[in-house]
Structure 1
Amino acid sequence: MFSRRFEPPQTTKSFSKPSRSGRSSSFSKEAGVSKKRLESRRRAGTVSNAGSSDINFDNTVSPIVTLVVGQEQRIFAAHEHILCASPFFKAVLQNQMMDSQTKKISLPDEEPEVFSSILEYLYKGDYTPRLIHNKKRNTWELEQSDESGRSEATIFHHSVEGELLKDTAIYCSADKYGIEELKRVALRKQGLQSGIQASTILASARYAYANTPDTDSKLRAHYLALIIRSRNTFKRSGTMQLEMFNGGTQLFFDLFVALCNHVDDISSAVSSPRTPRSGRPF
């Protein structure tokens, strides 16, 4: 009910070629998520739904925390010890001088759909669509969760009044809440998405820049690499032309630097003398 659709302008181009199954379009080392860590998180998450039990993993009573999320004030409930896996929520709860039965946190700027995925991760070690490890190919893939064989990759986000990549919004929220492993999972997942509108890519890139610190070297680099790799699509995009005309963000300077570095790398490779296997130059 939270995925109100946003129809992009007719001039917007889209990516028609899907990426190879199981391969991330982001940097594999930096975007990687440990299979061992992911599986251990899944094994630990024995409580399947927030509010379904008030017993934590040490068999002690864990208070229920009420969370009021988004402009629509959606109500969520979660165990305090689960939320305390996040440094952000741990600090908030420690500062609340109130009865344990009335703990409440308000998150008016968060999207309910994003927060639902974060809670799912905290309880189960992953969120829908789950990452599936293909043992035969030794690659990560996204599970297929609907009749069409695809999961919804975008959400409507009130801050941009349009579509964003869901994994980008989750990454930014995970950064705010200090959940580092969730950031790695979200980065890997968005690297496996394909068929995303150019306008959505640019909106998500802007959102990433606005909601991550300047020291972020993962999500921002992912978008720079994605735009450069898909340059044939973006250079024909009216949306990209309008974005660059309006400017005003760090994104486009970083993109300019990345493009220059890309051209320099190509030039260096072309100008470097070829060396035969014997080690002697031609």
Structure 2
Amino acid sequence: MFSSRRRDSHSTTKSFTKGYKVNKSSSSFSKEAGVSKRRHDSSRRRAATGSMTINDPDTPITNNPSSAITTLVVGSEQRLFAAHEDVLCHSPFFQAALQRNFAEGNNTRRIALPDEEPEIFSSVLEFLYKGDYYPRLVHSKRRNSWELEPAEADRPIESTVYHHSVDGDLLKDTVIYCAGEKYGLEELKKIALRKQGLQSGIQCSTILASARYAYANTPDSDSKLRAHYLALIIRSRGTFKRSGTMQLEMWNGGTPLFFDLFVALCNHVDDISAASSTPRSNRHS
């Protein structure tokens, strides 16, 4: 198991909450998605549980002893994971890395991933072996919606993960989506995309940091994850318009013009929404 890390957070920024469901036919944030004032407790550092490390006696890699095992050295702390090569080869990234090791005569069967977060890579491995990662998606026939499975007694559900590249919290499903992009795992991207927005109590600052991370780690052609964040911010525009975090984010990215433009856009959308909801008989009075 991974050791826990702790960081104290004194942020007073507003946070958003989401219902723990999303319509089966929708790939965007649920309509209930919005922003509230409930704070997310980011002081708890994430303990990566259920990870498939070589020290875990319950690792499922023993289920297929016929395939060679590769050791993966992950993160700045060099955490060790192990996986079967035939499982890793479902990823074009790892297939190329294994072929490169073979071509170079490297018989140690080790792949270094110094920039990866161990908790994220644990979820990637879990997907490769099980087709999903914790917490798994379950479909409710009664509600015709996708939901997250209940938390296990010894395994809390963490919506964010500390990422060394930004020295702060990011939405875990967003980072996993970007990992799926990096490793060429389209199905993992679909699952991570569907899980976007199913957790609650996320700070505005975390949303914006995650949006920035998504833009930095997806191609310009990405029309899925980026659209999620644009839709979320527009849908929750009232809170973001009042958010000092949003204003600082835009000022740091350029000039006050960007925030003024955002506020003007919000006001315009609000005016259109108000007009469309006004009965026709009242519009001409």
TM-score (norm 1): 0.76
CA distance in 1, matches of 2:27, 2:149: 21
Residue of structure 2 in register with 1:65 after alignment: 70
Q: Is the counterpart of residue 105 in structure 1 residue 105 in structure 2?
A: no
Alpha-carbon deviation of 1:19?
2.7
Contact 1:69 1:110 in 2 (8 A): yes
Report if aligned partners of 1:50, 1:78 keep a CA contact under 8 Å in 2: no
Bigger relative contact order, structure 1 or 2 (CA pairs below 8 A, ≥6 apart): 1
Q: Aligned runs of 1:81-230 on 2, under 5 Å?
A: 81-96=86-101, 97=103, 102-146=108-152, 151-230=157-236
What's the secondary structure of 1:127's corresponding residue? coil
Tell me which residue corresponds to 2:26: 28
Give yes or no for contact 2:19–2:200 (8 Å, CA) kept in 1.
no
Mapped to 1, the partners of 2:87 and 2:254 lie a distance apart of 40
Q: Is the 8 A contact 1:129 1:151 kept in 2?
A: yes
Structure 1 runs not aligned, ≥5 long: 33-47, 56-60, 275-282
Q: Which residue of 2 aligns with 1:77?
A: 82
Note if contact 1:65-1:103 (Cα within 8 Å) is conserved in structure 2: yes
CA distance in 1: counterparts of 2:155 and 2:107, whole angstroms: 42
Distance 2:210 2:143 in 1: 30
Could you tell me which residue of structure 1 aligns to residue 18 of structure 2? Answer: 19
Consecutive unaligned residues in structure 2, runs of 5 or more = 31-57, 281-285
1:248–1:2: structure 2 CA closer, same or farther, 3 Å change rule? farther
Which moved further from structure 2: 160-169 or 95-104? Answer: 95-104
Q: Secondary structure at the match of 1:28?
A: coil
Q: How many angstroms does 1:190 deviate by?
A: 1.6
Q: Return the alpha-carbon distance in structure 2 between the equivalents of residues 183 and 9 of structure 1.
A: 32
Question: Identity of counterpart residues, as a percentage?
Answer: 67
How far did residue 264 of structure 1 move? 10
Q: In the superposition, relative to structure 1, how do residues 27 and 8 fare at CA in structure 2: closer, same or farther (>3 Å)?
A: farther
The alignment of Structure 1 onto Structure 2 pairs a total of residues equal to 248
2:62 partner letter: S
For residue 265 of structure 1, report the CA deviation from its aligned partner.
11
Rounded Cα–Cα distance in structure 2 between residues aligned with 1:86 and 1:13: 38
Whether contact under 8 Å (2:135, 2:149) holds in the other structure is yes
Instruction: Give the corresponding residue for 1:52.
Output: 62
- TM score, norm. by length of structure 2: 0.75
How far residue 235 of structure 1 moved from its aligned partner, in angstroms, is 1.7
Aligned residues: CA RMSD: 3.5
> How big is each residue's C-alpha offset from its partner over 1:136-175, in whole Å with a ceiling of 9 and x where there is no partner?
1111000121459961101110000010111111000110
Distance 1:78 1:165, change over 3 A: same
Counterpart in 2 of 1:278?
Answer: none
Kept in 1, the 8 Å contact 2:27–2:193? The answer is no
CA distance in 2, matches of 1:8, 1:236: 21
Q: 1:68 is paired with a residue of what secondary structure?
A: strand
Alpha carbons 1:49, 1:123 under 8 Å: kept: no
Q: Deviations over 1:35-83 (max 9, x none)?
A: xxxxxxxxxxxxx83542443xxxxx31101100000000000000000
Shift of residue 238, structure 1, vs aligned partner:
1.7
